[in-house]
């Protein structure tokens, strides 16, 4: 399984909710904090066309500005049992 990149911002409640969900379900990801990292923020914007977090890039499939309600169907589409 490819490890998705998860772009988050410090203090973002939606980011925390998504991180907690992924950790609780033992779903591996690479956490990239864009707060204070101009290059990471630019990468997130280039991937998603916007600057809101969380944003997930899973092998080219991008889910931007989402909560757990949007994450679950995305994970199922990627073949992850949740």
Asked if the structure places residue 39 within a domain, the reply is: yes
- Residue 1 reports pLDDT greater than 70: no
Asked if the structure places residue 58 within a domain, the reply is: yes
> pLDDT of 22-38, one tens digit each?
999 999 999 999 999 99
Asked if the structure places residue 81 within a domain, the reply is: no
CB contact at 8 A, 1 and 37:
no
Distance, CA of 60 to CA of 4 (rounded, Å): 9
Q: What is the pLDDT of residue 2?
A: 74
Asked if the structure places residue 25 within a domain, the reply is: yes
Q: What angle do CA 10, 11, 14 make, to 5 degrees?
A: 100
Q: At what angle do helices 13-24 and 68-77 cross, to 10 degrees?
A: 40
Total tally of structural domains belonging to the chain: 1
- Residue 55 reports pLDDT greater than 80: yes
Q: What angle do CA 23, 72, 46 make, to 5 degrees?
A: 85
As given in the structure block, the two tokens for residue 33 are 């904090």
- Residue 49 reports pLDDT greater than 90: yes
CATH number of the domain that residue 72 is part of:
3.40.30.10
Model confidence at 6, pLDDT cuts 50, 70, 90, reads very high
Percentage, residues of the chain above pLDDT 90: 93
Quote the domain boundaries for residue 38.
5-76
């Amino acid at each position: 399984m490819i490890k998705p990149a998860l772009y988050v911002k410090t203090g973002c409640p939606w980011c925390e909710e998504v991180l907690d969900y992924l950790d609780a379900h033992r779903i591996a990801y690479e956490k990239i904090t864009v707060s204070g990292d101009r290059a990471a923020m630019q990468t997130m914007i280039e991937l998603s066309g916007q600057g809101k977090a969380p944003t997930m890039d899973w092998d080219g499939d991008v889910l931007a500005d989402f909560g757990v309600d949007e994450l679950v169907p995305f994970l199922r589409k990627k073949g992850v049992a949740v």
